[in-house]
Chain A
Amino acid sequence: MRWRYTGAPFDASKEEALVTRSCVRSFVVLCVFAMLALAAGRVAAQTSASYTPPKTRDGQPDLQGIWQVLNTAAWDIQDHGASLGVPAGHGVVEGNEIPYTPAALAKKQENFKNRQALDPLNKCFLPGVPRITYLPYPFQIVQQRDRIDILHEYSRVIRYVYMNGNPHPPGPIDWFMGDSRGRFEGNTLVIDVIHFNDGTWFDRAGNFHSDALHVVERFTPTDRDHMTYEVTIEDPKVFTRPWKMSMPLYRRQEKDAELLEYECGPYLLKEEWNKPNSALFNQR
């Protein structure tokens, strides 16, 4: 059951934003509020050096719980100003520069220009890695001896991270979310991800990759309620060298925190179904 991405390009240039403005505004308000509220925690997360987390029954560092980012990487992983529905933000890319090849840089700029039509997230496709991690939705980590499950509220996406001794299966495989194999290095969960397709982006600003993408994620707990999330991106078809992202992850503190539901695909289809000229359904 090796599913290949065969979707055709989707031209939604005549469509209005699929995410309503009020919805975007809510996110912005929520993000800003939460960032202010937790600014102190963020500082604490970045300054504590050698925290030892509790262990699971299987003896692994216990990373379980509900986590979420508090940044604007979902819109743009690089430094950016604000625009309608887009909060300004410091980037999460180390050094801020993404080392595109010249041809790839031109494509990124085209993507940015046509982002409303071209962003695969606007079609509710699986978001890819690491984009899923820094969408403004919570996710839950569940640990077992041989597998770590990352359950995302966004579209109920599950990442199964295998730690059962199996190496990456032989390719070629074109998956939206890639194939994730994990291991612990000290207290850090390291996940190696390959077997991607070229159908996902890194953000709403058109930053992209090819099917040669290789992602290494590192989740390092820094205190009870914070982790540092570091990502190394390698893709020789698109970038001239590997590059890194880094950001804190915050444990959700609400006593009733739980994953609820954001079923992107059904909402999109329902919205578009009765539009006479929906670009979604008239792409050919």
Chain B
Amino acid sequence: MKRCIAAVIAALAAVFFLLPVTGRVVAGQAFYKPDTPKFPQARTWVAQRAKLPPYKAPRTPDGVPDLQGNWNGPVGGGNDDLEEHDYIDVTTPPQESYVSDPPDGKVPYTPWALARRNEIRAGLARGWPGETGQRLYGDPAALCLVGMPRSSFGAQEIVQTRGQVILLTANTYRVIPTDSRTHINSSAKFFFGNSRGRWEGETLVVDVTGVNGETWIDSAGNFYGPNTHMIERWTRVEPNTIDYQITIEDPSLYTRPWTMTYPKRRAGTGPGTNPGGTTAASAAAVVINDPYAKEFWENTCIEGNFDNVLEIKNLGFKWFNPIVP
């Protein structure tokens, strides 16, 4: 049964997060071998970024940097485990950390919060090393719960209108106002928080408050809370690359603010992408010369998922409630 639930969670994680990330999955290579080379993430990308010549993005008719188009998430094992790790299992290849700061690539939890994270990780029942064998929480994403900041790990389309930046996938969206309006009171909690954007030179800076802490940052139990504050920085550093940074602050959970960094490559460019020209819409269905390949088609989740939810529940997993000290 342990294998069974691991498979369920891995399969769902793949459906929601890995599939849109890269054509590798589309090509049927979702299952990695133990000798897979370590996927580069923050450390390698930050070094590459430092060598790029200055770049000024084209402007939209409203005079702000043009970030529009279809952008993939980071290439590799998705967000199965955001800290640096060796090969864990077929869906979790060796990978550098997404954390660019602190430099050790670890989430700077307080001792108490780190103990909680480790407890969650030990209760995933995925057959990973160090587990207790007890079932604690399944990844909330397996129950169709999505939220900040995980949605940007996948492919997204960016559309800009006057005073707004809109992020789109097949089944969810974020609207980021850039018109200087104030936040709704942060006592109002949302899976995606409340986003307010502003332009600082080439960079879209997004301030996110009011997150609810009911979802994870990855599928390995790394978490934030209902008092967490997030600041994203979206910068087009090359014609076909957006540098994505997110700084996560919460003195009740972390000893210092910390930052994840990864490149988002324009669909159809960059390493590991499908040369047929995938889009945020169609990564899983792309067929070269299919006129519909670049369309978003219906993508359900809870509608077909009650059996999986029931299985996860019957295996003894608990509902994950937001963590506060």
Binding site for B on A (CB under 8 A): 1-3, 5-7, 10, 57, 64, 123-126, 140, 142, 144, 149, 151, 156, 158, 160, 162, 164, 166, 169, 175-177, 179, 199, 256, 258-261, 263, 265-266, 268-270, 273-274, 280-283
Q: Can you identify 25 A-B contacts, CB atoms within 8 angstroms?
A: A1-B297, A1-B299, A3-B298, A5-B303, A7-B304, A7-B306, A57-B61, A64-B161, A124-B302, A125-B302, A156-B172, A160-B296, A162-B295, A166-B291, A169-B292, A175-B297, A177-B298, A258-B175, A260-B194, A266-B145, A269-B143, A269-B144, A281-B309, A281-B310, A283-B306
Closest B residue by C-beta to A269:
B143
Count chain B residues whose beta carbon lies closer than 8 angstroms to a beta carbon of A: 43
B298 touches A266 (CB 8 A): no
Top 10 nearest A-B pairs (CB, nearest first) are A265-B302, A1-B285, A175-B298, A261-B190, A273-B319, A160-B296, A156-B172, A281-B310, A266-B145, A125-B303
Measured in the bound complex, the distance between the Cα atoms of B306 and A5 in whole Å is 12
Interface string of B160-194 (1 = CB under 8 A from A): 01000010101111010100011010001011101
Distance (whole angstroms) from the CB of A186 to the closest CB of chain B: 23
Number of A-B residue pairs having CB atoms within 8 Å of each other in the complex: 108
B residues within 8 A CB of A199?
303
20 further A-B contacts with Cβ under 8 Å, apart from A265-B302, A266-B143, A281-B309, are A1-B297, A3-B299, A5-B303, A7-B303, A126-B298, A142-B166, A151-B175, A156-B171, A158-B168, A164-B295, A169-B292, A176-B298, A176-B300, A256-B181, A259-B175, A260-B190, A261-B191, A266-B214, A269-B309, A281-B310
Cβ contact of B175, chosen from A6, A140, A266, cutoff 8 A: A140
Which residues on B sit within 8 Å (CB–CB) of A265?
144-145, 301-302
Within the complex, the shortest CB–CB distance from B300 to chain A, in Å, comes to 5
* Alpha-carbon separation in the docked complex, A10 to B170 (Å): 26
B64 adjacent to chain A (CB < 8 Å): no
Say whether B313 faces chain A, with CB atoms less than 8 Å apart.
yes
Residues of B close to A164: CB separation below 8 A: 295
Contacts of B296 in A (CB 8 A): 158, 160
Say yes or no: is B6 at the interface (Cβ < 8 Å to chain A).
no
With both beta carbons as reference points, the residue of chain B lying nearest to A265 in the complex is identified as B302
CA A281 to CA B319, docked complex, whole Å? 14
Q: Which residues of B contact A57 (CB under 8 A)?
A: 61
Within 8 A of A (CB), among B242-276: none
Q: Does any Cβ of A come within 8 Å of B114's Cβ? A: no
Interchain CB contact (< 8 A) of B191 among A1, A256, A263 = A263
The complex places the Cα of A52 from the Cα of B214 at a distance, in Å, of 46
Task: Point out the residue from B173, B291, B304, B313 that lies within 8 Å of A158, measured CB to CB.
Answer: B173
On chain B, the residues within 8 Å of A269 by CB distance are: 143-145, 302, 309
- Whether the Cβ atoms of A2 and B166 lie closer than 8 Å is no
